[in-house]
Amino acid sequence: MARFLARRLVYYVALVFIATSLTYFLASATLNPRSVYADRNPRPSSEVVDAKLTSIGVNDKDPLGERYVHWLGGAVTGDLGQTIQDKPVAAEFGPKLGVSLRLLLVGSILGIVLAVVVGTWNAIRQYKFSDRVSSVLSFVLISTPVFLTAVLLKIGATKLNDVLGYQLITFTGEATPNLTGGFGTIAWDRIAHLLLPTISIGIGLIAVYSRYQRATMLDVLQADYIRTARAKGLRRRPAIFKHGLRTALIPMTTLFAFAFLGVLTGATFTEKIFAWNGLGAWFIDAVQANDVNVVVTYTLYSAVVVLLAGFVSDVLNAVLDPRVRAQK
């Protein structure tokens, strides 16, 4: 098992390197950092602009290979370069990473856990009323874009606050500015701001992966070993949850891992709509500002998150499936 996981880890490191390198070359070829200085008044001279762009490593007049090697050498040591405003990318990356992870982890974990519960419940109660209602809701949510779900949630919360006559649900930003109080006050304020963005991310995951979980569970429930276990006297609940659910989760672990790619995309819109200053909003601002180093850093982060999730999926797969553990 250790050798299997080591091989996968080497494979993922190679993929991160390839994805980041391709993004660097693509961003350097398409973004135009020089345009940032074109609208300034007074407009700086071309010599000043060249010197500034060279100092932050994004001067298109310098050889691309030389810029890439310089950026890669710094990235290996934790130096991700300078933003177009000449600030260290790593210094801005840290706080925004904390904001995004708080949003992603809570929404993703809740969404995946509830997707397993809903999918398993619907498989056990196939074609019952609850299964049909859940199926209809899932298809409606799957066909609804993440940004539309987020906007509808904001409208619903606004109307609820208007009806109640006070601010029950707050949804702008990650926290109330200049809020004072003890730990309980601060913690409740953070939870209140996290509510709608988490629902926005979570319900999409529940809708999609509960359908996969339901289909996988139905296949397992028809398997011979489940019927054999029941024929030998094992009660239905232990047969389903001890033998059926464990087997049904094996293919789902891979799907859950790579769901992070879709979650990252959805979180980008969610952060913008709910005014969270996380990495997704930072990435959109960087593209608009032609900030090459920030765009590449965000891609590096995305690749690491997705492939790390893939590695966790391999570990879970090995834990659940003895055939994987037996591989040398």
* Mean pLDDT on 200-214: 89
Q: Which residues contact 189 (CB under 8 A, 6 or more apart)?
A: 170, 175, 176, 179
**C-beta of residue 272 within 8 angstroms of C-beta of residue 280:** yes
Q: How confident is the model at residue 271 (pLDDT cuts 50, 70, 90)?
A: confident
Mean residue pLDDT across the chain: 84
Which of the pair, 263 or 58, is modelled with greater confidence? 58
Q: Please state, for a pLDDT cut of 70, what percent of the chain lies above it.
A: 95
Closest CA to 204 of 270, 294, 252, 284: 270
Of these ranges, 66-80, 237-251, 263-277, the one predicted with the greatest mean pLDDT is 66-80
Q: How confident is the model at residue 232 (pLDDT cuts 50, 70, 90)?
A: confident
pLDDT confidence of residue 25:
92
* Mean pLDDT on 181-195: 84
DSSP 31: -
pLDDT confidence of residue 137:
93
- pLDDT surpassing 90 at residue 133: yes
Q: Which residues contact 55 (CB under 8 A, 6 or more apart)?
A: 82, 86
CB atoms within 10 A of CB 238: 12
pLDDT confidence of residue 314:
78
- pLDDT surpassing 70 at residue 260: no
Q: How far apart are CA 29 and CA 38, in angstroms?
A: 19
Helix residue ranges, H only, the chain = 2-30, 46-55, 64-76, 89-124, 129-142, 146-164, 183-221, 224-231, 236-238, 245-273, 279-288, 292-320, 322-325
- pLDDT surpassing 90 at residue 118: yes
* Mean pLDDT on 42-61: 86
- pLDDT surpassing 70 at residue 55: yes
Tokens of 152: 């509808």
Q: Which residues contact 300 (CB under 8 A, 6 or more apart)?
A: 16, 19, 20, 23, 75, 80
pLDDT confidence of residue 140:
92
- pLDDT surpassing 80 at residue 231: yes
- DSSP SS3 for 63: coil
pLDDT confidence of residue 102:
82
- pLDDT surpassing 60 at residue 48: yes
* Mean pLDDT on 44-71: 88
Q: How confident is the model at residue 138 (pLDDT cuts 50, 70, 90)?
A: very high
**C-beta of residue 93 within 8 angstroms of C-beta of residue 209:** no
The DSSP annotation for 166-215 comes to: S-----SSSS-TT----HHHHHHHHHHHHHHHHHHHHHHHHHHHHHHHHH
Q: How far apart are CA 325 and CA 320, in angstroms?
A: 9
* Mean pLDDT on 300-318: 80
